[in-house]
Amino acid sequence: MSQTIAHIGSQGAGAKHGGQMRAGVYRGKGRVEVESVPIPEIGEGEVLFRVAACGVCGTDIKKIQHGFIKPPQILGHELAGTVVETGRGVTKFKPGDRVVSFHHVPCGSCFYCQKKLFSQCAGYKKVGLTGGFEPNGGGFAEYVRAMPWVVERGMIALPSDVSFEEATFVEPVNTCLKAVRKARVASGETIVVLGQGPVGMLLTSLAKNEGGIVYTSDPLAGRREASLRFGASESFDPAKGNLHEEIRRRTEGRGADAVLVAVAHPAVVPDALALARPGGRVLLFAHNDPALQLQFPAAAVGIEEKEILGSYSASVDEQEESAALVFERRIPVRQMISHRFPLERIADGLELAAHPNGDTLKVVITHA
């Protein structure tokens, strides 16, 4: 590989290197194949960086397992790496810089940005990172092209003591911090987090960081045990069917102030509403399946005045703080990584993330 890109590292309008790289290419429902594809060529204002690590997100799994997107595409948006080439006009970064990058950046001036609904901005929905084909993150490839608006407003330099693996958490921490803030988690409140996969673990840690008293549930014993290390006061097995009683017992019969749902199954939503006290909040994080329909008792909202909230993707307002939480290790993200797979074994990593066992937390794809 080094011979095919020996000239990368200069600044110019865009290299015509014609080199090849390895990438995990989505080829249809349930299929990601490791192939050789062209290294992306960059233009003015753009950056090419070599990916060092990329986290596997639940959204990636949904897209792959359910065939929500058209092939071919290269997914992976929780990524960090090293700049190898910069286009004309780029002044913020140079070859050799270690960076982490968001893949969505809002315009900052439209109606939705003015309302701080950044993820609803039309510009935000335009993906600004690609490893080739239709832009969709690209972190499951060796090299990624960052487009000008991402280079200017969505790429962050890494401190020298922060590893690439830790840096891959900046984007997911942002999305979870946004959710915790949207649920208005406050110090001293009782918070329940349903599901202790990677997102649930982050929600637990961040809710604890906000001062909440956090209880969790997950069917996997290993994840329940891990959640105690990441901020939960207690963790329960939902199969035992007594979670409502346990939470009421700890809240003088009221229920939780807020319930954060990190499980996509529709039956969990009425359970979450039942766990919340009158006037409490239920935050749906995992329910982003476009075909999924939900049912719940109308009286829970119309009479008991419980709120149902949604939270999607990251917020530019939380960008600096989410990076600081990772860089200053206020959230123990490195300890959340349970499995690492080289790019050539990405299919194994995706399979494990889709069907976790008792000790599966965060899965990261690493690049040599």
What is residue 129's predicted lDDT score, i.e. its pLDDT? 98
Give burial (CB, 10 Å; 0-12/13-18/19+) of 160: exposed
User: What percentage of the chain carries pLDDT values higher than 70?
Assistant: 95
Question: Is the domain of 136 the same as that of 31?
Answer: yes
Mean pLDDT across 206-227: 97
Work out the angle at residue 364's Cα, subtended by the Cα atoms of residues 362 and 368, and round it to the nearest 5 degrees: 160
What is residue 251's predicted lDDT score, i.e. its pLDDT? 98
How far apart (Å, rounded) are the C-alpha atoms in residues 201 and 199? 5
Residues 258, 247 contacting (CB under 8 angstroms): no
Question: Is the domain of 124 the same as that of 263?
Answer: no
Question: Is the domain of 159 the same as that of 32?
Answer: yes
Model confidence pLDDT, tens digit, residues 184-215: 999 999 999 999 999 999 999 999 999 999 99
What is residue 6's predicted lDDT score, i.e. its pLDDT? 39
What is residue 269's predicted lDDT score, i.e. its pLDDT? 96
Domain hosting 63: range is: 11-169+333-366
Question: Is the domain of 160 the same as that of 178?
Answer: no
What is residue 1's predicted lDDT score, i.e. its pLDDT? 35
What is residue 244's predicted lDDT score, i.e. its pLDDT? 96
Mean pLDDT across 352-361: 93
Give burial (CB, 10 Å; 0-12/13-18/19+) of 340: middle
Mean pLDDT across 108-131: 97
Question: Is the domain of 138 the same as that of 164?
Answer: yes
- Domain assignment present for 299: yes
Which of 310, 325, 352 lies at the terminal end of a domain, its last residue?
A: 310
What is residue 8's predicted lDDT score, i.e. its pLDDT? 53
Mean pLDDT across 78-95: 98
User: Residue 120's Cα: distance from chain center in Å?
Assistant: 17
What is residue 287's predicted lDDT score, i.e. its pLDDT? 85
Least confident of 2-11, 64-73, 82-91: 2-11
What is residue 291's predicted lDDT score, i.e. its pLDDT? 80
What is residue 14's predicted lDDT score, i.e. its pLDDT? 43
- Domain assignment present for 319: no
Model confidence pLDDT, tens digit, residues 283-334: 999 887 778 899 999 999 999 999 999 999 999 999 999 999 999 999 999 9
Residue 16 has pLDDT above 70, yes or no: no
Look up residue 59 and give its two tokens: 């959204």
Question: Is the domain of 101 the same as that of 181?
Answer: no
Question: Is the domain of 196 the same as that of 164?
Answer: no
- Domain assignment present for 321: no
Mean pLDDT across 323-351: 97
Question: Is the domain of 151 the same as that of 18?
Answer: yes
User: Residue 12's Cα: distance from chain center in Å?
Assistant: 33
At 216 the three-state DSSP class reads strand
How far apart (Å, rounded) are the C-alpha atoms in residues 140 and 74? 6
Least confident of 63-72, 82-91, 124-133, 153-162: 63-72
Question: Is the domain of 157 the same as that of 178?
Answer: no
Residue 342 has pLDDT above 70, yes or no: yes
Residue 13 has pLDDT above 90, yes or no: no
Question: Is the domain of 76 the same as that of 144?
Answer: yes
Predicted TM-score (pTM) of this structure = 0.94
Question: Is the domain of 210 the same as that of 160?
Answer: no
What is residue 288's predicted lDDT score, i.e. its pLDDT? 79
> Which of 2-6, 52-56, 265-269 has the highest mean predicted lDDT (pLDDT)?
52-56
Look up residue 110 and give its two tokens: 């439209």
How far apart (Å, rounded) are the C-alpha atoms in residues 119 and 126? 10
- Domain assignment present for 274: yes
What is residue 142's predicted lDDT score, i.e. its pLDDT? 98
Residue 7 has pLDDT above 80, yes or no: no
- Domain assignment present for 328: no
- Domain assignment present for 327: no
What is the rounded average pLDDT for all residues in the chain?
94
Residue 216 has pLDDT above 80, yes or no: yes
Question: Is the domain of 206 the same as that of 251?
Answer: yes
Residue 336 has pLDDT above 50, yes or no: yes
Least confident of 63-72, 107-116, 255-264, 341-350: 63-72
Residue 74 has pLDDT above 50, yes or no: yes
Which one-letter amino acid corresponds to residue 78? E
The b-or-e profile of 90-118 (16+ CB within 10 A means b, else e) is beebebebbbbbbbbbbeeebebbeeeeb
Give the CATH number for residue 48: 3.90.180.10
Give the CATH number for residue 291: 3.40.50.720
- Domain assignment present for 23: yes
49 conformational bin, left if phi > 0, alpha if psi -120 to 50, beta if neither:
beta
Residues 72, 81 contacting (CB under 8 angstroms): no
Number of structural domains, the chain? 2
- Domain assignment present for 2: no
Model confidence pLDDT, tens digit, residues 122-156: 999 999 999 999 999 999 999 999 999 999 999 99
